[in-house]
Amino acid sequence: MGSQNFLWQLTKRTVTGALIGITISDRYVTVSSIRGSSMYPTFQTTPATFPGSLKGDLVLAERFCLERYKFSLGDVIIFQAPDNHKRNLVKRLIALPGQWIQIPESSEMLKIPEGHCWVEGDNSACSLDSRSFGPIPLGLVKGRVTHVIWPPHRIGAIERKVPTGRTPPY
């Protein structure tokens, strides 16, 4: 009888903890692993030393910004890839709805449509971003990256900055 009571209490606590964890991850904050070099030097990837190890920075992304799409130029955001909704990308926010932006390596000016934004990777030579797929719908944004939480020597806040020469004209 005592072991059944213990198992029941353990099951209740586990389910409760899982539900709280899912709610926090879905509504408030989430943790994501960064892979690839498109955001170097902001985020770094390293070769794995053993199977299953982390290959890049682990970041914290807050979701409060999604309530009313409260973003600022220079924020680093996580969003679903426009061409593959199962893949998440991390890029820097360069222009917001209604702003004009000059397309890189071109003299063409583009006005960002309402409900969309322009994103670019910090390492433009290796980045699949708005230069490839155009402005992205704000509905694809999953959160704003605020901190690196792993590895320990890189723990810290993410700087909000717009790359030199990429400030939209007003």
- Tell me, yes or no, if 91 is annotated catalytic: yes
What is the Cα–Cα distance from 116 to 123, expressed in whole angstroms? 22
From the list 38, 111, 124, 161, the catalytic residue is: 38
Q: Which of 91, 107, 111, 130 is catalytic?
A: 91
Long-range contacts of 110-118 (CB under 8 A, 24+ apart): 110/135, 115/139, 117/71, 117/93, 117/141, 118/93, 118/94
Active site residues: 38, 91
